[in-house]
Amino acid sequence: MTFDPHAAVLHPTVTQESGPSAADIPALHGEYKVPGGKLVVVDLNVSDGILRDVSVSGDFFLDPDEALELINAALTGMPAEASASQLADAVTAAMPPEAVLFGFSAAAVAITVRRALSKATSWSDHSWDIIMPTVLPTAVNVALDEVLTEEVGSGNRNPTLRFWDWEEPSVVIGSFQSVRNEVDPAGVAANGISVVRRVSGGGAMFMEAGNCITYSIYVPQTLVDGLSFADSYAFLDAWVMAALEKLGIQAFYVPLNDIATDQGKIGGAAQKRLANGAMLHHVTMSYDIDADKMVDVLRIGKEKLSDKGTRSAKKRVDPLRRQTGLAREAIIEAIAEVFTERYEATATELSQQELDDAARRVAEKFGTEEWLYRVP
């Protein structure tokens, strides 16, 4: 018999031991980059509504080594419909007391499992729109937040980033704030301030034309699935932190919802989650606020400032103009550019139907005394 070396190379014998069969390869794959931490990857199968063949991996650190198999075992057999908290609890319960998870957490593993199951989404799973500033009455801006959040929830609009713009001096109070406790009537009258209540919680925003940078993000709640309310704030603003860093500003979150630098507070965020599965996240950052007028208009008491480490509300205002030396429009352009590049966002405009819907809601809700004084 003549030995043919080429045949041996080109036609190797395939045996069962040469590698996993297609049936052995997990069908579902999820990834999650922990903010400020490491990448977590999960591969798994689902059979009869149960998680099978769960394999967790990543560039995290874990001690002891055996804990990884304990995590896999804890997740294998869990219902595919288990919530993020139930999955995280299972991982936590399986960990020995001496276990150290560095760069990730049980909650991060749960989020990754939910992503593999398509119950949680990442930024890259969505097509993003961006709406640059359009000058509108403040009440219309507030109404649009409700309109666009509902549209994202119903699937009639892509997840969207929208920048506000306005002309009239305004105070926008949180959904649960008392008008009389937050606003000084004499200061409002003297300065021609319009007072509007928004749908989200949080504190009052003093807004004159050109003195703030305000944006709203309308997203499906699947984007923050498994994250705590506190963690969702920083997660949804990670892109703007990167944009500020490009501008030379080292910003960070002060729980729950303040954005600050080592020179002081520069902004704050608020959220509202709707029953249709969408959520609103919006941020106002100080650009060049008239601190004297702000204190004249808002009742900023000692109790509110007691945990801020300052004696004066004026010291809390730390305008972006002073920290960057840039025009407001240039800052907006810069942070919009980062968002567009990161998420391949498409520039869009408000539709006439959206504007008409917002105007109707101003007439029926946001512009009424009943809504404004629902918390007197």
Q: Which two tokens stand for residue 95?
A: 């960990």
For residues 69-83, one letter each, b for 16 or more C-beta atoms within 10 angstroms of the residue's C-beta and e for the rest, the string is ebbbebbbebebebe
- Residue 318 near residue 266, CB atoms below 8 Å: yes
Q: Looking at the domain 124-372, which fold is it?
A: BirA Bifunctional Protein; domain 2 (3.30.930)
- Residue 191 near residue 169, CB atoms below 8 Å: yes
Q: Work out the burial of residue 11: count CB atoms within 10 Å of its CB; fewer than 13 is exposed, 13-18 middle, 19 or more buried.
A: exposed
Place of tokens 């200061």: 187
Q: So what's the pLDDT on residue 263?
A: 84
Q: Is the pLDDT at 345 greater than 50, yes or no?
A: yes
pLDDT tens for 25-54 read: 679 999 999 988 999 999 999 999 999 999
pLDDT tens for 287-307 read: 998 888 998 999 975 445 555
Confidence class for position 113, pLDDT limits 50, 70, 90: very high
Angle, CA of 120, 123 and 124, to the nearest 5°: 100
Q: Is the pLDDT at 140 greater than 60, yes or no?
A: yes
CA distance 235 to 122: 11
Percent of the chain whose predicted confidence (pLDDT) is above 70: 89
pLDDT tens for 230-245 read: 999 999 999 999 999 9
Q: What is the DSSP string of 219-254?
A: EEGGGGTT--HHHHHHHHTHHHHHHHHHTT---EEE
Closest by CA position to 204, among listed 138, 132, 137: 138
49 alpha carbon, distance to own chain's centre: 30
Q: Is the pLDDT at 317 greater than 80, yes or no?
A: no
Q: Which two tokens stand for residue 37?
A: 């931490």
CATH class of 24-116: alpha beta
* Alpha-carbon distances of 83 from 264, 267, 287, 330, rounded to whole Å: 38, 33, 41, 43
Domain residue spans of the chain: 24-116, 124-372
Q: Is the pLDDT at 6 greater than 60, yes or no?
A: no
